[in-house]
Amino acid sequence: ILGDGELNVKLNFKARAFSASAKEKLEAAGSSLTVLPGRKKWVKPSVAKNLARADEYFAKKRAAASAAETESTSA
Report d(CA 26, CA 75) in Å as an integer.
Answer: 54
Same domain flag for 4 and 16: yes
Query: Are residues 66 and 45 both part of a single domain?
Result: yes
In this structure, the answer to whether residues 18 and 50 fall within a common structural domain is no
Distance CA(48)–CA(7), nearest Å, equals 43
45 with 68, same domain: the answer is yes
**Total number of domains constituting the chain:** 2
Q: What residue ranges of the chain have pLDDT lower than 70?
A: 74-75
Note the pLDDT of residue 74.
67
Rounded to whole angstroms, the Cα distance separating 29 from 6 reads 9
Residue 67 confidence (pLDDT): 87
Provide the residue range defining the domain that includes 69.
40-74
Per-residue pLDDT, 14: 93
Q: Do 31 and 46 reside in the same domain of the chain?
A: no
Q: Is 48 found in the same domain as 18?
A: no
> Do the Cβ atoms of 38 and 16 come closer than 8 Å?
yes
